[in-house]
A and B are shown apart, each in its own frame.
Chain A
Amino acid sequence: MTAAMTPALEVRGLCKSYGGIAVTQNVSLTVAPGERRLIIGPNGAGKTTLFGLIQGEIKPDAGTIRVLGHDVTRQPVPERARVGMARTYQIINLFTRDTLAHNVVLSLMGLMPLKRNAFTALAARTDLYDKAAALLASVGLSHRAQHRISEISYGEQRRVEIALALAQEPKLLLLDEPFAGLSQDERLIIKELIASIPSETAIVMIEHDMDIALDFAEQITVLHYGQLIVEGDRNKVVNDPMTREIYLGH
């Protein structure tokens, strides 16, 4: 298999249950490099659990996870970032006491040996802060770079979430409900922002709101009670009677 054909993400037979409740049941999916994949499903379908499993915060009971050809099933969370995976969170968790620029710098340093340096002043590394400013400009927040996270709006915080993920130039990006809680205007900004992500980055997005997310997706996966119900391109999934029944409700 050539490097270009190695899937960005390959999940095989993934299972997870809590007590007697199976939240992920034998899920398998393959995401090609650069693909835009949408995962939808009603509340409690196991979308966020699936993300947690892929990212490593939750340990699977069975199955394997490969990211860009690396078997990361038993790897800890930080190792997966090193392989080229980044994520955003549904519930924003940024460094609220720090400036936007410092937030991005922390993300940049995550994959640099510099992070182990305990002797030199971080503030002297203006190259890093310049790079952070450029990244913030790319999400339209350069004027806010020196503000603290606690001083900016919720919609702007969503954009910082994405800037943090993009700072590591991931090959696989997991977006967990990036439109949650946003106004219509803010949704459009985020939508454009996601559309501008380089095409080499494969994106897997969980979204509740189908209207905004459908345009984004090339491939759609529908989850229901932890099971993969339908998978395919946009037309196939939208017109599938199963999707209509369990997700659209008619």
Chain B
Amino acid sequence: MRRNYILLLALLICLPWFSGEYYVNLASQILIAAIFAASLNLLVGYAGLTSLGHASYLGLSAYISAWLSLRMGLGHAVTAPAALLLTTLIGCGFGWIALRASGLGFLMLTLALSQIVWGLCYRWVGVTNGDNGLSGLTRPSPFGIDLGNSSAFYWFVLIITVAALYSIARFVNSPFGATLRGTRDQWRRMSSLGYNVWGIRWVTFVFSSFLGALAGLLYVYFNKYIHPSVMSVTVSAEALLAVIAGGSGTLAGPVVGAALVMLLKNYASAYVERWNMLMGIVFVFIVIVMPAGIVPGTLALLRRLRGGPR
């Protein structure tokens, strides 16, 4: 398994040498979407808390970094940590509110909070420039490397993706990760065993919003432009779809799911006009054939083909 991951990573590192710029940019977008979906998966898959407002953190971090650099004239060395920090702090507050409930109540609260932020972005024209969005942004150049170059940017995103996924893997396999899954499966039992269920969920919510903010930062670097639509419920729902289609509660699932959504959106739309319908059909097919998601479904299929125990 580990050998496969290293092979895949080697392949991804080499990608810019054998593919055109279009595909390198598409790959960058897939990686950003993968970080975003993986961060949402911490809540959906590992905490059992389905959020429909995760786009807030992506958008907030993008907007904060854009605003600080455009209006305050600050450099990337300041805007990036500031955007991550402020968005994570907002995540602390939003988590505190949304975790008053679980299940459907949690979903509705996350949706409501994200709609507030989205509405604010549209209407608070003085700060966000409303429907026109914020443009004229730049990419950072760490250690003098110009990330304006699409290959360089791709490698930059790849490094951050690997770091983010590695930290998620460490997190979910740690003792804390085990207690998190415990609160998902039997929260009453966890409470009577001496665990602070609320605290465990809140810490996870904050970590998840931090990683969402990280994806937002990369998103705004990639596009060099930000529009309120990035905060819309569609973006949250697409990430949720990626998590569920790929396999929630697995490490690779959201990455595969995000790749699928991105490919359908960017690639299939060039050939099929009604690509939204195509996406719908694909997801209905996945849910019927592999209800647990592509990654667990494929693994189960492989085990069956090899004749092993199911």
Interface residues of A (CB under 8 A from B): 55, 57, 76-78, 80-82, 86-87, 89, 93-98, 102, 105-107, 109-111, 114-123, 125, 164, 168
- Pairwise interchain contact A87-B178, C-beta atoms closer than 8 A: no
B160-188, CB under 8 A of A: which get 1 and which 0?
00000000001101111111011001101
- Pairwise interchain contact A118-B185, C-beta atoms closer than 8 A: no
What are 23 residue pairs bridging A and B, where the CB atoms are less than 8 Å apart in the complex? A76-B191, A76-B196, A77-B191, A78-B197, A80-B192, A86-B192, A89-B189, A93-B186, A95-B182, A102-B178, A105-B178, A109-B175, A110-B190, A110-B194, A110-B195, A114-B175, A116-B175, A117-B174, A118-B176, A119-B170, A120-B174, A120-B175, A122-B178
Chain B interface bracket (under 10, 10 to 19, 20 to 34, 35 or more):
20 to 34
CA distance A32 to B190 in the complex (A): 27
- Which 5 residue pairs are nearest across A and B when measured between Cβ atoms? A81-B194, A110-B193, A110-B194, A118-B176, A77-B191
B residues less than 8 Å from A86 (CB atoms): 192
Give me 6 other A-B pairs in contact (C-beta within 8 A), A76-B196, A86-B192, A168-B193 excluded: A81-B193, A102-B178, A106-B182, A110-B195, A118-B177, A121-B173
Residue of A nearest to B186 (CB): A93
Residue of B nearest to A96 (CB): B185
- Pairwise interchain contact A115-B175, C-beta atoms closer than 8 A: yes
Pick the residue among A80, A114, A122 that contacts B177 (CB under 8 A).
A122
Nearest Cβ in chain A — how far from B157, in angstroms?
Answer: 24
CA distance A119 to B175 in the complex (A): 8
Interface residues of B (CB under 8 A from A): 170-171, 173-179, 181-182, 185-186, 188-197, 203
CA distance A118 to B167 in the complex (A): 10
CA distance A123 to B171 in the complex (A): 13
CA distance A179 to B145 in the complex (A): 69
A residues less than 8 Å from B176 (CB atoms): 115-118
Pick the residue among A80, A82, A94, A111 that contacts B189 (CB under 8 A).
A94
- Pairwise interchain contact A106-B179, C-beta atoms closer than 8 A: yes
B residues less than 8 Å from A107 (CB atoms): 193
CA distance A98 to B179 in the complex (A): 12
Nearest Cβ in chain B — how far from A205, in angstroms?
Answer: 17
CA distance A105 to B173 in the complex (A): 14
- Pairwise interchain contact A109-B179, C-beta atoms closer than 8 A: yes
- Pairwise interchain contact B193-A106, C-beta atoms closer than 8 A: yes
Residue of B170, B174, B177, B203 most packed against chain A (CB within 10 A): B174
Nearest Cβ in chain B — how far from A50, in angstroms?
Answer: 15
B residues less than 8 Å from A97 (CB atoms): 185
A residues less than 8 Å from B179 (CB atoms): 106, 109, 115
A residues less than 8 Å from B195 (CB atoms): 78, 110, 115
- Pairwise interchain contact B192-A77, C-beta atoms closer than 8 A: yes
CA distance A82 to B203 in the complex (A): 21
- Pairwise interchain contact B178-A106, C-beta atoms closer than 8 A: yes
A residues less than 8 Å from B178 (CB atoms): 102, 105-106, 109, 122
Residue of B191, B192, B194, B195 most packed against chain A (CB within 10 A): B192
Pick the residue among A57, A102, A117, A119 that contacts B188 (CB under 8 A).
A57
B residues less than 8 Å from A115 (CB atoms): 175-176, 179, 195
A residues less than 8 Å from B190 (CB atoms): 106, 110
A residues less than 8 Å from B174 (CB atoms): 117-122
A residues less than 8 Å from B192 (CB atoms): 55, 57, 77-78, 80-81, 86-87
B residues less than 8 Å from A94 (CB atoms): 186, 189
CA distance A231 to B176 in the complex (A): 44
- Pairwise interchain contact B194-A82, C-beta atoms closer than 8 A: yes
- Pairwise interchain contact B185-A95, C-beta atoms closer than 8 A: yes
CA distance A76 to B197 in the complex (A): 11
A residues less than 8 Å from B171 (CB atoms): 118
CA distance A195 to B4 in the complex (A): 52
CA distance A114 to B178 in the complex (A): 11
Known contacts: A115-B179, A116-B176, A119-B174. The answer to whether A93 contacts B193 by CB under 8 A is no
Nearest Cβ in chain A — how far from B260, in angstroms?
Answer: 26
- Pairwise interchain contact B194-A111, C-beta atoms closer than 8 A: yes
CA distance A76 to B190 in the complex (A): 13
